[in-house]
Amino acid sequence: MGKVKDFLLDELKTVLFVTGYFLSWFVVIGALKSLMLAEYDIDVAAMSGAIIGSLVIAKVVVILDATKAGDRFAHRRALQHILYRSAVYTFFVLLVLFSEKVVEAMLDDATLDAALEEVWAHRSRTHILTSTLLLGISLFFYNIFSVINRSLDGGLIGLLKSPMATNES
């Protein structure tokens, strides 16, 4: 029972850390959106979307981290590995965002074909592409941290948790 409890605790910590990371990005993106749209007197409630979005994206990232999807260039230079992982993760985020919009359109009594056309041609293309671009940037920084942490056998997280040494002479 102890091993299962430890496993679940480790998974919970991982999901919370990744969710917190993406929540901070979603809050910044939501704040930027609100500030830009305020110029046109459009109010945006972005916080609930930020929480749900960060949970969804974090789960996608945790699942991808547990698979071999992003490890094709793990034996090459770190930058190649980071760029490849970021591209793969961004592709999956694009799929999730697009699928979410298609399901929303289908809930409005559209068939799959009509929903696909509605989402891409009329409703959400710019939103999906903008969100994918911004999340791709956040994934790039996430993968930098992840690859460095993995190459240090988890030592980067320990380093970030420890107090800074001072050079007092």
pLDDT at 111: 84
pLDDT at 160: 73
pLDDT at 46: 67
Q: What is the DSSP letter of 164?
A: P
Q: State the total domains in the chain.
A: 2
C-alpha separations of 118 from 80, 110, 112, 115, 123 in Å:
37, 9, 10, 5, 6
Structure-block tokens of residue 18: 């990744």
Name residues of the chain where pLDDT drops below 70: 1, 46, 123-124, 154, 167-169
Is position 127 within any domain?
yes
Q: State the amino acid at position 29 in one-letter form.
A: I
C-alpha separations of 52 from 27, 33, 49 in Å:
11, 17, 5
**Can you give the residue range of the structural domain that contains 91?**
68-155
Q: Which of 34, 66, 98 is the last residue of a domain?
A: 66
Q: Do both 58 and 113 map to the same domain?
A: no
Q: Do both 75 and 151 map to the same domain?
A: yes
Q: Do both 74 and 143 map to the same domain?
A: yes
Q: What is the pTM of this model?
A: 0.80
pLDDT at 21: 92
d(CA 63, CA 115): 27
Is position 163 within any domain?
no
